Structure 1
């Protein structure tokens, strides 16, 4: 579903993708991110 929804627009340039990495110790290394989300009280707690 998501491929059918987004890939045509991304391929044609009508849509743009982006990513934001904001964890200071990770820099641009997304594999170095240590933030975790824990399910709690019907939502999530980020640590």
Structure 2
């Protein structure tokens, strides 16, 4: 019984490690090449509004 629990936990940790290796770098690349990111955070594109006085 305890052996099955240990095997299950090791399996979950393994699946999580594979997910981190495959999914997270792709998300980081998408964030770097997001064309709207510079528009949202760059001061050059900032629009003066009613509250910016």
The normalised TM-score by structure 1 is 0.20
Give the number of the structure whose residues are more often helix, by fraction: 2
- When normalised by structure 2's length, the TM-score is 0.19
Which structure has the larger Rg over C-alpha atoms? 2
Greater RCO, 1 or 2 (C-alpha within 8 Å, sep 6+):
1
